Amino acid sequence: MIEVQNIGALSTRYFEANIGPKPLIAIFRGKNPEETVQMCRHAWSIGIELVEVPIQGEAGIASFRAARDAAREHGKQVGVGTVLTIDQVRFAVDEGAAFAVSPGLDVDLAQACGERGLPLLPGVATSSEIGSALRLGLVWQKAFPAAQLGPGWITAQLAPFSTVLFVATGGIDASNAAAFLTAGARAVAAGSALSDPEQLAMFEDLPNPVLGTPATAGGDAS
């Protein structure tokens, strides 16, 4: 069992190893199992390594299970999103989720993830939440809701919190993704925009915040 004080190191190792050169996480919410699997396969084919499926309700659970099974066939991984309770953490571990994403920061939930060895990407929207996450060792943090916070929020928060690796999430599409990366986000997370062929082409040319160059499809596999 991994103790809570190691949840930060666990999460850092996981996301640094799996985000890949394309700074993009796919979120497939509200799709039936067949649609979810189809979108997952397309995401993997263009070099997106991390896929999140929110587990809200029975429909979300069914779609996650279908995505997880498809991931195993392709040698990929799928995480669970909108994790709000410890019971959902238990479900995620029992069902083979690779990571968990929560909309906010919950210390008890982080402890449950740490105890079960499940990497966590917690949501933050204030300086207090960022600081609290850092005290748990959680350097990778989800800036949510990103569209409302704006790219300037990322830059402003990185001044005092220079070690944080933000994943801008919420309202991200091809028209604003690059702005968040330029502002200092380590990655962005997008959902419905990835099903739009025109936007998908624009996502192909996202700047890579680590390499300083446009991200290319078909990056290193995890």
How many whole angstroms separate alpha carbon 4 and alpha carbon 148?
31
Helix (H), strand (E) at residue 156:
helix 151-158
Active site residues: 52, 142
How many whole angstroms separate alpha carbon 154 and alpha carbon 157?
5
DSSP calls for 97-132: -S-EE-SS--HHHHHHHHHHT--EE-EE-SHHHHHH
Cβ proximity of 145 and 187 under 8 Å = no
- Crossing angle of helices 86-94 and 107-116, rounded to 10°: 20
Residue carrying the six token digits 């929110």: 54
